Structure 1
Amino acid sequence: MLLTTKQLFLKCYGRYAVPAVNVFFMEEIHGLFAAAQEADAPFIVQTTPFARDYAHAEMLLSMIGAAARIYPRVVYAVHMDHGYEEHIFDAIDKGGYTSVMIDASHDDFETNVARTRAVVAAAHAKGISVEAELGVLAGVEDDLTVDAAHSFYTNPRQVEDFVNATDCDSLAIAVGTSHGAYKFSGGQGLQFHILEEIRRRLPGFPLVLHGGSNVAPEVIERINAAGGRLKTDAKGVQEDEVRKAIPLGICKINIATDTRLLWTMVNREFFRDRPDEFAPTTPGKIFMEEYKKVYVKKVRIVWLLR
């Protein structure tokens, strides 16, 4: 069943968080839909402008639609993540999305409000939910890079005015996460005092946690043992942090890095151990099975759906 993110958040607020997973190719989409059907858990499938440039929006949306027919019991939303106006209005006009994100967080407050309000007007006219963002996360995601010096936490004193002025449906906040595989090298973790103050000022309003991957050390170790050269000081969002954040209004947790690391681990180990192989389908099948196992475990243990 295809829903908007607003509909999903009305059901989950304070009880569980809905995973929002970025996809680029068929194996990821198969793995995600298969896992969600097995776990009997709602989810959000996300495409970024980078993914649309890579695979083409029509290809991605067609694969997502096909997966929904193959796995008919899933409950999901389709979300445009980290979009700018050129991507967002195209997505709104051409259809296929039930939610979009306007990322104007790098602008000053007034400009962010104006840009977000324009997107909200267009999206709401077609029944599409809108996610906005206050605060800037450091890190790397696709072709977006923000160094730590230019990142900043969300100011709780601004959230009420922003939501009231824009009429957005959910708000992505910066409370200590970062994009990409090189997270939390300083070990600061989530800033719960900021999250608690935001929830106090926006009771009942859906909040979004970007950069929500765990970055499991054992996955990094296996990648490097199979020829990778990833840094080993990364630390993602921990399970206990997720559990603590959900009652404080976090309804959506964005996941991208963990699935990329899983793909890297599976393929590096496969071709290390099977140097005579060259068919992409064999490691592809392994990846889909591993994806499903990891996702179902996360849903049942981390996101409090069971």
Structure 2
Amino acid sequence: MLVNLNDVLLPAKKNGYGVGLFNTVNLELARGVLKAAEELKSPVIIGTAEVLLPCGPLEDLAGLLVPMAKKASVPVVLHYDHGLTFEKCMEALKLGFTSVMYDCSTDNYEENLRKVHELVRIAHCFGATVEAELGHVGDNEEPAAHKGMNAPEAYYTDPAQAKDFVKNTQADALAIAVGTAHGAYKWKPKLDFDRIKTIADMVEVPLVLHGGSGLSEEDFRRSIACGISKVNIFTDINVAAGKAAVRAIKEGKTCLTDMIPCQVEAAAEAVKAKIRVFGSEYKALTDMSI
């Protein structure tokens, strides 16, 4: 069942659990994500990010993911993550994505607000939702991310700004910077849980935690308890599928068709583990009409 962010995140926010976004670049990962969600009766968010398009072109993935989402037995949001340009976000909407993240977090506050507000007006006409980012969730490879860990006040989301931003953009979800980073962690992240709770108390829309791969189960549970409703995961399922292929080769399987089932199952198991931690297991049955 193809839905948008509001359909899955508003119940999650109300009832205190999280819904995972699992980015995909091919059929194997997509099958693994949806297999896990259907087996555990969990709503799920699936999609891709602009930085991943070299691995899977947007048009090709849309042709693959839209029909898979529509025929799924659980609510599935098709989300375009970290859209960096207005043009690509529009392309995603036209291709059938039901949600887009327009990431203008490296712009100044006024420009971020202006750009997001413009896209929100358009996306809502498509029946789609928009996620924005305030503050900046860096990358583990970039110096800014490491610097941000030592000087969080320069990179973390300001609660008062968050309230003003949501009010003036009408964004449907807000990604906040509270100590995570994208990619595999090279040091243990220190999340600002008090900041999450403060922002959650000040804004009405669901909050999003980016850079989820590599966090501890306790980090996830505490973040969700403090007000996070959506958690982004890619590295964990990407690595799981890659390791499955390596194991298959070591076992003497040299054909791609011998490796595919292993990759699908590995991705599914990684997603199941996150669904259970996030607390969304069986929520497709209790919180939504499908």
Q: TM-score, normalised by structure 1?
A: 0.83
> For the structure 1 residues 59 and 188, does the alpha-carbon distance in structure 2 shift closer, same or farther, using more than 3 Å as the test?
closer
CA contact (8 A) 2:140 2:146 kept: no
Q: Find the aligned partners of 2:114 and 2:260 in 1 and give their Cα distance.
A: 44
Could you say which residue in structure 2 is the equivalent of 1:12?
12
In structure 2, give the amino acid aligned to 1:255. I
Classify the secondary structure of the residue corresponding to 2:111: helix
RMSD of equivalent CA atoms: 2.0
CA contact (8 A) 1:52 1:60 kept: no
Could you say which residue in structure 2 is the equivalent of 1:28?
29
Task: Give aligned pairs, total.
Answer: 274
Could you say which residue in structure 1 is the equivalent of 2:111?
111
1:148 to 146, 149, 154: 146
Classify the secondary structure of the residue corresponding to 1:171: strand
- Displacement of 1:147 in angstroms is 4.2
Could you say which residue in structure 1 is the equivalent of 2:53?
52
Matched, 1:272 2:250: yes
CA contact (8 A) 2:240 2:270 kept: no
Could you say which residue in structure 2 is the equivalent of 1:64?
65
Q: Which structure would you say has the larger RCO, counting Cα contacts within 8 Å and 6 or more residues apart? A: 2
- Displacement of 1:160 in angstroms is 0.8
Classify the secondary structure of the residue corresponding to 2:53: helix
Could you say which residue in structure 2 is the equivalent of 1:82?
82
Could you say which residue in structure 1 is the equivalent of 2:197?
196
> For the structure 1 residues 195 and 72, does the alpha-carbon distance in structure 2 shift closer, same or farther, using more than 3 Å as the test?
closer
CA contact (8 A) 1:2 1:75 kept: yes
- Displacement of 1:21 in angstroms is 0.6
In structure 1, give the amino acid aligned to 2:222. K
Cα deviation, 1:173-221, whole Å, max 9, x if unaligned, reads 01111100135x1x3421112112112222x4200000111xxxxxxxx
Q: Find the aligned partners of 1:164 and 1:146 in 2 and give their Cα distance.
A: 28
Q: TM-score, normalised by structure 2?
A: 0.88
How much identity, in percent, do the aligned residues show? Answer: 34
CA contact (8 A) 2:66 2:97 kept: no
CA contact (8 A) 2:22 2:234 kept: yes
- Displacement of 1:3 in angstroms is 0.8
Could you say which residue in structure 2 is the equivalent of 1:287?
263
Could you say which residue in structure 1 is the equivalent of 2:238?
260
Could you say which residue in structure 2 is the equivalent of 1:176?
179
**Structure 1 residue ranges (4+ consecutive) displaced by more than 6 angstroms after TM superposition:** none
Q: Find the aligned partners of 1:279 and 1:273 in 2 and give their Cα distance.
A: 12
Classify the secondary structure of the residue corresponding to 2:42: coil
CA contact (8 A) 2:20 2:232 kept: yes
Matched, 1:161 2:164: yes
Please, which runs of 5 or more residues in structure 1 have no aligned partner?
214-235
CA contact (8 A) 1:189 1:237 kept: no
> For the structure 1 residues 273 and 15, does the alpha-carbon distance in structure 2 shift closer, same or farther, using more than 3 Å as the test?
same
